[in-house]
Amino acid sequence: MNRDDVEILTRERRYGGFLKVEEYRLRHRLFAGGWSEPISRELMERGHAVAAALYDPVREQLVLIEQFRIGAYAAGEAPWMVECVAGMRHKDEDPVAVVKREVKEETGLDVREIEFACRTMASPGGTSECCDIYVARVDARHAGGIHGLAHEGEDIRVLVEDFDDAYASFFDGRRLGSAFTLLALQALALNRARLRATWLGTKETQT
């Protein structure tokens, strides 16, 4: 079934801040045939996003960021989370261009190579947000410091860590990982050998 198998009866905005909440009243076709009874669903609208695992294939290092997250705080977790670079994109923006912009803003680094990994939804039961996941090559030699846009309230610390230990830390209970971060790191882990061969060849080194 597809979008034609949904009938929107009403759609009302319930909240209109940075996060927008809308209430849909709808019905949809059933697998057994016919139509459902009218149902109501609340939906959070926040736009679409990109995320990227930043990898230095020469030094076998990840560049990660750490910042305050209100969702982790509200969930009773430590509110400073270690993540991959991510950011929101406008409807008509090129996602690769957005990745490069966010990497520069959040780490001060330039993207040298980039590869698409997958597209995912954050939580389709309650939000429309889709995220394009990438793996990007960076030079980690000078990564570090505090970054972010002050007028957006960003206070972002850059971390450089060896790939194996950093990757393991998200899957052995040492760190709470966001879904986008875990997907990006898994995509890198699955393709790491191929990407190193593609990005470095047999003789290339960073200069």
Amino acid at 48: H
pTM of the shown model? 0.90
Q: Are 24 and 41 in contact (CB under 8 A)?
A: yes
pLDDT computed for residue 153 by the predictor: 85
Q: What is the pLDDT of residues 80-94, one digit of tens each?
A: 999 999 999 988 899
Instruction: Report the distance separating Cα 120 and Cα 123, nearest Å.
Output: 9
155 pLDDT above the threshold of 70:
yes
Identify the CA nearest to 126 among candidates 23, 9, 4.
23
pLDDT computed for residue 202 by the predictor: 54
Q: What is the pLDDT of residues 92-129, one digit of tens each?
A: 899 999 999 999 999 999 999 999 999 999 899 999 99
C-alpha dihedral sign at 10, 16, 20, 21: negative
Output the CATH code of domain 48-200.
Answer: 3.90.79.10
β-pairing, 39-45 vs 61-68, is unpaired
Instruction: Report the distance separating Cα 186 and Cα 188, nearest Å.
Output: 5
The structural domains of the chain, with segments of one domain joined by +, span 3-45, 48-200
Question: Is 93 labeled as catalytic in the residue annotation?
Answer: no
Look-up of token digits 């410091």: 145
Amino acid at 202: T
Q: What is the pLDDT of residues 55-77, one digit of tens each?
A: 999 999 999 999 999 999 999 99
199 pLDDT above the threshold of 50:
yes
Task: From the candidates 152, 154, 161, 204, give the one annotated as an active-site residue.
Answer: 152
Instruction: Report the distance separating Cα 54 and Cα 135, nearest Å.
Output: 6
